[in-house]
Structures are given as C-alpha cells and as structure tokens.
C-alpha cells in the first residue's frame, strides 16, 4: 500500500489545506494524516472518493461538510456541525462534539464516542437508498433530532442514567427515528414526537449499527444488544400539516 | 455570528494580552473585520484607586474641552494621556483614543450607598448622550477596554495589548448583523466595573432598553449588547443581586420547569420572574460578563449560540470554540459544554 500523505497543519488556514486534500484525493492518495489540527474549519469539505482522512487534534466547525465517500477519523473533539449535509462516507470522532452534529445530513454515518451538544441530528433527511446514521456513545443535550426528516439517531448514553436528560427530543420531527437506550421521560419529548414500543425486529435492525459503533471504539457490544431502548418517531404521517396552511 | 473568548486567573496572577490575541484571531471567520476588542482587569496598578476613563474623541478641540470641563466639575483628573496606538495598514483610525484617571468628589451626591460609582455612571451617560464627538467606552477602576473597527489581530496590534497585564481578559470578534459596525459598537461594552462580550442578538432589546432607561441609563451605542452591561449594573450593583441571581433574572428557567421545582425554589423563581419581567432577555445569545471579582458566562435558554468552558488549575476559560481555548492553553485539562441558561462562574480567590 502507498505511503500516506502526512501534513503538519499547525497554523495553516483551511483553504490551502482543503486544496491540498482535494488534490491528493484526485491524484489517487488513499490515506491522508493531518497532524496538529487546531480549529481549521470545513476539513474534507465536499471531498469525493474513498480516501481515509485522519485528523489528529481538534478540527474546527463543519468537519466533512458535503463530504461524499471518504472516511474521516478524528482523534480529539469536534466543534459545531460535523457531518453538515454529508452525503456519504463516515466520520468517526474519538471525543465529544459541539452543537448541531450531523446537521442536515443526507447519507453515511457519524459516530461520536463521547457527548454531543444541542440540536444533534437537526434536520437529518433520507431519500430512497440514502439513510444517514448518527450514533452517540455518551449523552446529548436538548433538541436532539430537531426538525428531523429522515435517518436514524441512536444514543447509547454510556455513563449516563438516564441516557438523555435534556428536553425537546424530536421537536418538530416529521420523519426518521430516534432510539435512546433505556426509558425516556414523556416530558422530554418535543412537539410532534411520540414514543413507541421498541420491538425485537427493531433490535435486529439495529444490531449491525451497534456492532459497527462498538467495534470502532473498542467497546463490548453485548450490554447494548441485551437492553431496552425507547423509539421516538413522528406523532403522525404529517404532524405539522395544519400549522401554516389550512387544507 | 461573533466570536468570544475570556479567561480568569482565580489567583489574580496576571497574563499579558498576546495569547488572547492569538485565540481571538483563530476565530477570524466568526467576524467580518468591522469590530474587535479586548478588556483586561488589573492593568493599571499605579492608578488602581482611580476610575480609568477611556474615551473616543473625534478631535481634541471642542469634544475634549467639554469632557475636561465635566470631569473637573465632578472630580479631579489625576492623570490623562492619549492611549498609545500603533498604525496598522488594514485599520482606519477613526477616533483618537484617550484615557483619564479620575477621582470623583464623594460629597456631591446624596441618597446613594456608592456616590463614586453613581457619579461616574451619571457623567458617562451625560457625556455619551450630550457631548458630540466624545464617547466613553470604558469607565472602571484598574481595567481598560481596547476596541476598534478591524480584525482581531489588527485591533490587538493597534493598541499593542501584549503590553498590558491582567488577571481577567475578555475578547470579542464582531460580525455586525442588525446595525452598522463602528468603533463604539465593537465589544466589550463596559460601564464601571462591568464588561460584556456577546455573541447573538437581544430580540427583547426594546423592552430591556425601556426598562433600563427608566432607571437613568441611556443607550447610545446603537447596538443591543450595551443594554446587557446596564442590566448587570442595575441588578448586580444597584440592587445588589449576586451574579447567579442576575443570570436567573435575565435568562430564567421556563415556566414548566419552575412548576416542577421544590416549593421554596418555585416561589423564589416566580417572584424573580415577576419582579424582573422587563429585564428578561430573549433571542439567541452567549454572553460573558466580567467584574473585578470574577466572570460569569451564560447562554439563552434554548442554546442558540455556542459556549464551551475549559479549566486548568486556577484558570477558567470560556469561548465560542474549543480550539481558541487550546490556542491560549494547549495544556487545558477539562473541557465541557455548560447547559443552556446555566451560569458558569469563575471568582477570584483573594
């Protein structure tokens, strides 16, 4: 296998950095290692292909925005909106992340080992074969899955009982599903969200996702395959049909 | 969008301004080059008992003559000088920055527990509202605001903030959205001991402004953040509320959360919300407020702006972005995101 491209990005602005990444991927480089990352925004922005990007440090906001295909693995925390409108590929974050994680995501997967901030999975969407997945190992702050239109959010809540304690879960949800380990207090549900029974079929569906996540972070998946979850979905097919117009 | 960063060394060990310049400049993208500024506490130990009055003058003739006269009427100018500045190619000098070290006459005001502060507040309001070509943008003791229209690094270099040493620093990079950028509209906003940096907008500005104007404050800076400094001065200084309670008055819990509180807390919160209804701030915001005793940070109740906290021994950092904190302190130990509306407080240990 070819040598990875290693870039020391200390003090570098994201524009030349992203140009270097795009050029490398276009010329067939399969692995790019970024060292001393600190606050550079938009890393991997719009990159297409099957490269692997390793980020050592704390990248700036909108990591992997519009990215379509690559796998980006971060050894550090991420700031706001990693996976913003991401199309395909994966973000693996060995740390926590800020607000609006997986903002408007349309495909691929975002795995966060630690916690996420407010509005995780805001307006995630799905279309035909494209179904984005956001998995959070720790907990989430309020308005998880706000205005969610499709896809899957899974919160394992490792080290948190209950897994999520913040309000407004699925506020404005009209598609997709939010799965949270353990019980979720009804008062935490947002407008338009309802809690339904988590079935054996749901667990079968989720098993590969749980195993994939646990595998990436070296976590034993067994406790998460033998526990209860809460499943939160839109209250009806069109929960906000009469909100702005009359039919 | 705006960028904020603040630090307090709780043991009052002083830091120069070079690292906060680096940290704020890392967030250049959060601003538009139309406003940046810094405030530091503990920078004037030689004049620690004087009010350090920083003024933007349009010229040193009429406006300054009038300000001199007002100050001399209300007290004694112990020392005055132009604030040293250093030309920057990208920064257009629009005002002359001047500083007075001022001691008000204590026997001029009655019916107040703090005549000095009340005198200075009054003359700041008077000068800013009535003296054309003069704007007091900093009026506390042993502290100073340095701000202008420009990028964070240019404003820092213009004032050479690395030449100042403080135990609290706040910095702000502005992206003006509702009103035009100008020197007086750059953050931090200061009155007496209070300094405020703010990311977001106060959509309740009209209500809040009417409320503070009913208590002798005049809004002259053409932007919403100014009112936050006056709310803190009114509730924190004049009414004597502790900072936790000021934050709960400005960004209270929702009624449904209050309903579920233990009876005593519920009654307290109801009373606070009813008493300070017109002080409640709506809209998206992340705010850091400093006084000589410490800093307090909080966001709006539904967290529409970012805020992250870092700790390393005696130092507490608050910022819009984790990377900015790590720029100031690569060895920062603990990083966390506070809950919406929950005050984060760093107090000096004397």
Query: A60, B323: Cβ pair inside 8 Å?
Result: yes
Looking up tokens 């979850």, which residue turns up? A229
- Domain membership flag for residue A4: no
User: In angstroms, what CA-CA distances link B2 with A106, A214, A220, B114, B306?
Assistant: 28, 37, 42, 35, 10
CA atoms within 13 A on the CB side of B250: 37
Chain B residues touching A187 at Cβ < 8 A: 256
Encoding tokens for residue B65? 């003559």
Report CA torsion sign: B291, B294, B300, B303. Answer: positive
pLDDT tens figures, A18-57: 999 999 999 999 999 999 999 999 999 999 999 999 999 9
Q: What's the CATH number where B297 sits?
A: 3.60.20.10
Encoding tokens for residue B87? 């030309």
The separation between CA A107 and the C-alpha centre of its own chain, rounded to angstroms, equals 10
Smallest CA–CA separation between A114 and chain B, in Å? Answer: 11
Q: What's the CATH number where A223 sits?
A: 2.160.20.60
| Per-residue pLDDT tens digits of chain B, which is 350 residues long | 899 999 999 999 999 999 999 999 999 999 999 999 999 999 999 999 999 999 999 999 999 999 999 999 999 999 999 999 999 999 999 999 999 999 999 877 777 778 899 999 999 999 999 999 999 999 999 999 999 999 999 999 999 999 999 999 999 999 998 888 999 999 999 999 999 999 999 999 999 999 999 999 999 988 899 999 999 999 999 999 999 999 999 999 999 999 999 999 999 999 999 999 999 999 999 999 999 999 999 999 999 999 999 999 999 999 999 999 999 999 998 999 999 999 999 999 97
ipTM of predicted assembly, 2 dp: 0.94
- Domain membership flag for residue A241: no
A210 within 8 A of A219, measured Cβ to Cβ: no
- Is A94 in a helix, a strand, or coil? coil
Q: How many domains does chain A have?
A: 1
Query: Per CB distance under 8 Å, which residues of A are interface residues toward B?
Result: 38-39, 41, 58, 60-61, 77, 79-80, 96, 98-99, 115, 117-119, 141-143, 166, 168, 187
- Domain membership flag for residue A64: yes
Looking up tokens 């003559």, which residue turns up? B65
Q: How many domains does chain B have?
A: 1
pLDDT tens figures, A101-151: 999 999 999 999 999 999 999 999 999 999 999 999 999 999 999 999 999
Name the phi and psi angles at A86, rounded to 5: -65, 145
Residue B26 is nearest to which of A39, A119, A166, comparing CB atoms? A39
Q: For residue B198, which of B322, B41, B304, B53 has the smallest C-alpha distance?
A: B304
Chain B residues touching A171 at Cβ < 8 A: none
Name the phi and psi angles at A156, rounded to 5: -85, -25
A162 within 8 A of A185, measured Cβ to Cβ: yes
Smallest CA–CA separation between B126 and chain A, in Å? Answer: 42
Query: B322, A98: Cβ pair inside 8 Å?
Result: yes
Percent of all residues in chain A with a pLDDT value above 70, rounded to a whole number? 99
Residue-range definition of the domain harbouring residue B212: 3-347
In chain A, the residue whose alpha carbon lies closest to the alpha carbon of B337 is: A117
Residue-range definition of the domain harbouring residue A59: 52-234
Query: Per CB distance under 8 Å, which residues of B are interface residues toward A?
Result: 26-27, 29, 256, 302-303, 306, 308, 321-324, 326-327, 335, 337, 339-340
- Pairing type for strands A133-136 and A149-155 reads parallel
pLDDT tens figures, A232-246: 999 987 778 777 776
């Amino acid at each position: 296998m070819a040598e990875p491209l290693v870039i020391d990005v200390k003090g570098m602005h994201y524009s030349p950095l992203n140009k270097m990444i795009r050029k490398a991927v276009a010329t067939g480089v399969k692995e790019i290692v970024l060292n001393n990352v600190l606050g550079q925004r938009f890393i991997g922005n719009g990159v297409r292909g099957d490269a692997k990007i390793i980020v050592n440090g704390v990248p700036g906001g909108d990591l992997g925005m519009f990215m379509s295909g690559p796998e980006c693995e971060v050894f550090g925390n991420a700031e706001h909106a990693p996976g913003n409108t991401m199309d395909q590929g994966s973000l693996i974050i060995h740390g926590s992340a800020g607000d609006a994680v997986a903002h408007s995501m349309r495909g691929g997967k975002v795995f966060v080992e630690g916690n996420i901030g407010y509005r995780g999975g805001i307006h995630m969407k799905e279309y035909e074969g494209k179904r984005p997945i956001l998995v959070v190992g720790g907990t989430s702050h309020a308005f998880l899955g706000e205005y969610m239109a499709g896809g899957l959010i899974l919160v394992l809540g490792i080290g948190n009982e209950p897994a999520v304690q913040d309000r407004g879960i699925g506020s404005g949800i009209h598609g997709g599903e939010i799965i949270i380990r353990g019980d979720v207090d009804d008062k935490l549900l947002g407008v338009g969200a309802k809690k339904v029974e988590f079935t054996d079929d749901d667990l079968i569906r989720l098993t590969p996702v749980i195993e994939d996540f646990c595998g990436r972070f070296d976590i034993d998946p067994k406790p998460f395959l033998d526990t209860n979850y809460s499943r939160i979905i839109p209250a009806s097919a069109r929960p906000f049909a009469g909100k702005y117009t009359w039919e | 969008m705006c960028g904020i960063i603040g630090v307090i060394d709780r043991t009052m060990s002083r830091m120069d301004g070079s690292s906060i310049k680096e940290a704020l400049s890392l967030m250049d993208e959060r601003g538009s080059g139309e406003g940046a500024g810094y405030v530091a506490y503990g920078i004037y130990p030689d004049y620690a008992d004087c009010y350090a009055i920083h003024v933007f003058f349009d010229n040193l003739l009429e406006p300054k003559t009038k300000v001199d006269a007002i100050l001399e009427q209300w007290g004694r100018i112990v020392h005055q000088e132009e604030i040293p500045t250093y030309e920057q190619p990208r920064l257009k000098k629009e005002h002359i920055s001047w500083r007075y070290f001022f001691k008000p006459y204590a026997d001029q005001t009655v019916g107040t527990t703090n005549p000095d502060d009340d005198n200075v507040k009054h003359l700041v309001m008077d000068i800013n509202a009535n003296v054309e070509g003069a704007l007091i943008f900093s009026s506390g003791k042993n502290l100073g605001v340095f701000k202008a229209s420009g990028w964070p690094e240019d404003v820092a270099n213009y004032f050479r903030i690395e030449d100042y040493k403080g135990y609290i620093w706040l910095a702000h990079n502005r992206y003006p959205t509702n009103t035009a950028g100008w020197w007086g509209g750059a953050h931090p906003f200061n009155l007496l001991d209070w300094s405020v940096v703010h990311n977001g907008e106060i959509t309740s500005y009209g209500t809040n402004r009417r409320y503070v104007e009913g208590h002798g404050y005049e809004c002259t800076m053409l932007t919403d953040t100014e009112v936050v400094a006056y709310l803190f001065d009114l509730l924190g200084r004049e009414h004597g509320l502790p900072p936790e309670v000021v934050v709960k008055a400005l960004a209270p819990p929702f009624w449904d959360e209050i309903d579920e509180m233990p009876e005593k807390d519920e009654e307290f919160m109801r009373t606070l919300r009813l008493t300070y209804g017109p002080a409640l701030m709506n809209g998206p915001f992340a705010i850091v407020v400093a006084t000589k005793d410490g800093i307090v940070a909080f966001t709006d109740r539904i967290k529409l702006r970012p805020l992250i906290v870092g700790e390393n021994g005696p130092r507490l950092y608050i910022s819009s972005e984790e990377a900015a904190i790590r720029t100031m302190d690569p060895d920062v130990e603990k990083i966390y995101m506070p809950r919406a509306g929950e005050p984060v407080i760093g107090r000096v240990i004397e």
